[in-house]
Amino acid sequence: MSSTPVRVAVLASGSGSNLESILDYFEALGADRPAEVVLVASDRADARALERARLRGIPTELLERPSDGDALGALLDVRRVDLVALAGYLKLVPASVTRRWHGAIVNVHPALLPRFGGAGMYGRRVHAAVLAAGERESGATVHFVDEDYDRGEIIAQERVPVEPGDTADSLAARVLAAEHRLYPRTLHSLALGLARAT
């Protein structure tokens, strides 16, 4: 039974290294890929994630008003998006969108939620907080997105050690590598769950 690939939209505000790892992962699966990225959207015109998408011929959209749920929902609908993946997206997704895509909108966070998450906890602040707390390990979390930052049900996590002498930057690099392994594989299993017979 063949099924058409689940259609994924990636929302990103920054460099897009998670986007790149997702694109590489599904491209490597070739015709058997269970998902394909059909849209990359950003609230930032200068986001490198948009450039990465353009270089690979993937449609992009600039979100002029990220808080406008109707506009974002229309964008996702017109491209028949089944699964929304936030990858370094720093805006809160409007509730109308998180409700409409409930169970099909996910995010990657650079820490072991539920700790070290929530509003304002992003980038190197997360890793600095983990180090300041004296944690022996950190990691990456993929979770469902609801109306609050980083509060949705956890789907998958990958743990990494905190090494002696770690700085926020060295820990960030180790966690980011874990994200790049975890996110595509988690999207793969989610897509299999969403896949439908043609």
Report the catalytic residues: 109
The residue among 118 and 195 lying less far from ligand GRF, judged by its C-beta, is 118
Please, which residue, 39 or 108, has the CB nearer to ligand GRF? Answer: 108
Q: Give the residue nearest to ligand GRF (CB).
A: 88
Q: Residue 30: left (phi > 0), alpha (psi -120 to 50), or beta?
A: left
Least CB distance from residue 17 to ligand GRF, whole Å?
3
- Measured from the CB atom, the residue of 110 and 152 that comes closer to ligand GRF is 110
DSSP track, 92-152 = PPPHHHHHHTTTSEEEEESS-TTSS-STT--THHHHHHHHHTT-SEEEEEEEE--SSTT-S
Cβ 18 to ligand GRF shortest distance, Å: 3
* Smallest distance from ligand GRF to CB 120, Å: 13
Closest CA to 188 of 60, 44, 76, 34: 34
H/E element, 157: strand 154-161
CB of 122 to ligand GRF, least distance (A): 6
Q: Which residues bind ligand GRF (CB under 6 A)?
A: 12, 14-18, 87-88, 108-110, 122, 176, 179
Closer CB to ligand GRF, residue 7 or residue 52? 52
Whether residue 1 contacts residue 194, with contact meaning beta carbons closer than 8 Å, is answered with no
